[in-house]
């Protein structure tokens, strides 16, 4: 007869060893390179040869442009920093035409008072000049507020892009006067002091003014000074103790009203990002929220209220979502790209989502089919037709902890002596596994292996995924100057209005990256700037459909909100398969259809809503 006690003892003795070994190999895996499915190597090679012949590459020219912004992480409470520093370090970026000269400028936020924000003013396509101080926007971070994301939208419908700054502490509102930013926080009528991680905007009530939806990761406590250790998640796979998101209705004249209880969507998970669009092309809008530590949320707007329809997900979400982007794959419905962690093992680290809603209202994940499920510790993303072949591509940022380059060196050194590299990863995965089995979770950060050492400690490479005829995406870093860093936000910019999109990438441990796109210039593109008259001026919520022969292209207007803590060039940009004239159909947020036929390619156009 078997001695069950004896075998149980053997099992418990060997279990930590097994996790030590697995943790070592997980650490050795750099969380990076995806695999290609559904297409042969010869097909991939053929496509890459074509891209190479087009002259396409992404070259980092940030030093040549004089982009000298260098991010420093916020000075949060040492006790909190010791465990959760990697979750609060994220330099946000936005592309904005601050002076309405038709050329896109760049705004990057700092997280510490002595390091100013940088606003790079475009010199009519001939470089940039840093002008944050001249515009009154250099010092938004103070001792009691740390800036995270610049949220750009026209709050008063005057044609200028105004600014909301999300961050740790009390968020800030600014009016763009055309020559400077003037703070309007006290005028808004709301005190938004519950740690805004990010925000998005849309006109939920159809009154022509953009409303503000604020995403909260942390609960309402002072992370910059707190000594309270009970600040962490209550469940790794379905945490329900995050901050409560807030919907502010725009009343006009820079006044806002909290309508979350009346309208809904008061999500209480650990939210990082969100997007708003008609995801199933039925005339109703949906709000997708990416949540860390568990379930994302999907809401439908009906009769002026948000209803939770998350039950339509085809698989339960127990992942760690960071980013939400709407990608065109040649169908009337967007694919929703959601960044997640992928480690090559079934440790709850299952990779990115690539959702699409069906006619039956279900939402299914097609990330593996399209080969976008793996890019390590994926964070932000930018989607655009980088190589001007008529297909939208993806750039995904990747990276984890910044090795505490600017803060708390003694604590880091002391901790390094305590753990070996191998035991660091293994201890986390062992702890994670045991607590998952037992159901034991604790909000006390002192009971958790510090986040600085989880998974991989090294910088990691971002992922450029080029679209292969809307069938799959091919990992294509060989076309870039991508190196190992800790990438966070990624935003697109057409700096000289030639139809070629460059890329601005922020990291949480160093300087900006500005990737110059070297693809050969052509007229295989068209751009639109929509101007609403009876709907919001930015045209947020509109859908643009372009037809060129048998090819059809779709874009969903989000005001440039393109991914984690990032806002891209808000103009509609569509790469085309050739330079033949196109037909355009615009579905405005109120359902109105406006058509423009036989439009010449190779230029940007302003399109004013017809009345």
Other C-beta atoms closer than 10 Å to the C-beta of 573 total 21
Pair type for strands 604-608 and 525-531: parallel
Going along the chain from its start, the domains and CATH numbers come out as: 63-401+458-518 (2.130.10.10), 525-608 (2.60.40)
Mean of all residue pLDDT scores within the chain: 85
Residues 6 or more apart in contact with residue 413 via CB below 8 angstroms: none
Residue 418 has pLDDT above 50, yes or no: no
Other C-beta atoms closer than 10 Å to the C-beta of 158 total 13
Q: Which pLDDT score is estimated for 346?
A: 43
Residue 453: band (very low, low, confident or very high) from pLDDT cuts 50, 70, 90 = very low
Tell me if 58 sits within 8 A of 386, measured CB to CB. Answer: yes
Which residue would you say has higher pLDDT here, 22 or 456? 22
365-401 residues labelled b (16+ CB within 10 A) or e (exposed)? bbbbebbbbbbbbbbbbbbbbbbbbbbbbbbbbbbbb
Pair type for strands 463-468 and 472-475: antiparallel
Structure tokens at 547: 């037809």
Residue 134 has pLDDT above 50, yes or no: yes
24: three-class secondary structure by DSSP: helix
Query: How would you class 219 by CB atoms within 10 Å of its CB: exposed for 0-12, middle for 13-18, buried for 19 or more?
Result: middle
CA 266 to chain centre: 20
193-209 residue pLDDT tens:
999 999 999 999 999 99
Residues 6 or more apart in contact with residue 176 via CB below 8 angstroms: 98, 160, 161, 162, 163
Residue 26: band (very low, low, confident or very high) from pLDDT cuts 50, 70, 90 = very low
Q: Which pLDDT score is estimated for 569?
A: 98
Q: Which pLDDT score is estimated for 455?
A: 40
Task: Report the candidate in 374, 516, 600 with the shortest Cα–Cα distance to residue 57.
Answer: 516
Tell me the CA distances in angstroms from 63 to 11, 70, 109, one per residue in order. 56, 12, 18
516-543 residue pLDDT tens:
999 999 999 999 999 999 999 999 999 9
341: three-class secondary structure by DSSP: strand
Pair type for strands 543-548 and 582-587: antiparallel
What strands lie across the sheet with 286-292, from one edge to the other?
270-277, 286-292, 297-302, 305-308
Residues 6 or more apart in contact with residue 185 via CB below 8 angstroms: 170, 171, 172, 173
3-state secondary structure 167-227: EECCCEEEEECCCCEEECHHHCCCCCCCCEEEEEEECCCCCCCCEEEEEECCCCCCCCCCC
Task: Report the candidate in 390, 339, 373 with the shortest Cα–Cα distance to residue 573.
Answer: 390
Residue 32: band (very low, low, confident or very high) from pLDDT cuts 50, 70, 90 = very low
Structure tokens at 234: 């209550």
CA 258 to chain centre: 25
Consecutive H or E run containing 474: strand 472-475
- 357-365: Cβ within 8 A, 24+ apart: 357/279, 357/280, 357/286, 357/312, 357/333, 358/280, 359/280, 361/280, 361/309, 361/312, 362/312, 362/313, 362/314, 363/279, 363/298, 363/312, 363/313, 363/314, 363/336, 364/314, 365/314, 365/315
Which residue would you say has higher pLDDT here, 167 or 413? 167
Give me the residues paired with residue 225 across strands.
none
């Amino acid at each position: 007869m078997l001695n069950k006690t004896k075998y149980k003892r053997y099992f418990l003795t060997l279990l930590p060893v097994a996790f030590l070994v697995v943790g070592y190999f997980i650490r050795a895996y750099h969380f990076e390179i995806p695999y290609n499915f559904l297409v042969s190597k010869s097909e991939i090679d053929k496509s890459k040869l074509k891209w190479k012949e087009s002259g396409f590459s992404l070259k980092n020219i940030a030093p040549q442009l004089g982009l000298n912004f260098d991010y420093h992480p916020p000075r949060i409470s040492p006790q909190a920093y010791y465990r959760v520093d990697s979750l609060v370090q994220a330099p946000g970026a936005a592309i904005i035409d601050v002076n309405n000269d038709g050329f896109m400028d760049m705004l990057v936020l700092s997280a510490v008072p002595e390091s100013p924000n940088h606003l790079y003013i475009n010199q009519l396509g001939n470089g940039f000049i840093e002008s944050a101080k001249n515009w009154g926007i250099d010092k938004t971070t103070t001792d009691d507020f740390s800036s995270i994301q610049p949220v750009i939208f026209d709050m008063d419908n005057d044609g200028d892009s105004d600014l909301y700054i999300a961050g740790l502490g009390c968020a800030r509102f600014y009016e763009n006067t055309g020559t400077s930013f003037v703070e309007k926080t006290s005028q808004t009528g709301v005190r938004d002091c519950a740690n805004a991680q990010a925000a998005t905007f849309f006109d939920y009530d159809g009154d022509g003014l953009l409303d503000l939806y604020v995403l909260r990761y942390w609960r309402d406590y002072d992370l910059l000074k707190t000594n309270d250790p009970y600040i962490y998640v209550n469940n790794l796979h379905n945490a329900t103790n995050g901050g409560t998101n807030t919907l502010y209705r725009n009343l006009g004249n820079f006044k806002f009203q909290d309508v979350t209880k009346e309208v809904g969507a008061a999500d209480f998970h650990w939210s990082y990002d969100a997007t708003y669009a008609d995801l199933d092309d039925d005339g109703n809008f949906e709000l997708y929220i990416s949540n860390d530590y568990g379930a994302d949320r999907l809401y439908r707007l009906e009769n002026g209220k948000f209803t939770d329809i998350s039950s339509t997900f085809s698989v339960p979400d127990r992942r760690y979502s960071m980013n939400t982007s709407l990608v065109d794959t040649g169908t009337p419905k967007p694919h929703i790209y959601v960044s997640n962690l992928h480690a090559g093992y079934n440790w709850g680290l299952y990779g990115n989502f690539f959702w699409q809603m069906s006619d039956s209202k279900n939402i299914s994940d097609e990330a593996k089919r399209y080969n976008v499920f793996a890019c390590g510790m994926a964070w932000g993303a930018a989607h655009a037709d980088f190589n001007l072949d008529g297909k939208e591509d993806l750039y995904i940022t990747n990276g984890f902890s910044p090795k505490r380059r600017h803060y708390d060196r003694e604590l880091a050194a002391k901790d390094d002596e305590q753990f070996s590299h191998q035991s660091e990863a293994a201890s986390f995965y062992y702890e994670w596994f045991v607590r998952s089995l037992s159901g034991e979770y604790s909000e006390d950060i002192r009971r958790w292996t510090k986040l600085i050492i989880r998974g991989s400690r090294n910088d990691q490479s971002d992922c450029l995924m080029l679209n292969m005829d809307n069938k799959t995406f091919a990992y294509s870093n060989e076309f870039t100057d991508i190196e190992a860093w800790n990438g966070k936000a990624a935003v697109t910019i057409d700096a000289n209005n030639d139809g070629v999109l460059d890329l601005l990438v922020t990291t949480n441990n160093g300087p900006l990256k500005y990737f110059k796109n070297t693809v050969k210039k052509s007229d295989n593109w068209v751009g639109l700037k929509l101007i609403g008259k009876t709907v919001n001026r930015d045209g947020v919520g509109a859908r643009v459909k372009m037809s060129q022969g048998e090819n059809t292209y779709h874009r969903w207007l989000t005001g440039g909100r393109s991914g984690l803590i990032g806002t891209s060039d808000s103009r509609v940009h569509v790469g085309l398969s050739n330079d033949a004239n196109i037909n355009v159909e615009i579905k405005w947020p109120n359902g109105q259809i406006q058509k423009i036929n036989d439009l010449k390619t190779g230029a940007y156009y302003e399109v004013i809503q017809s009345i």
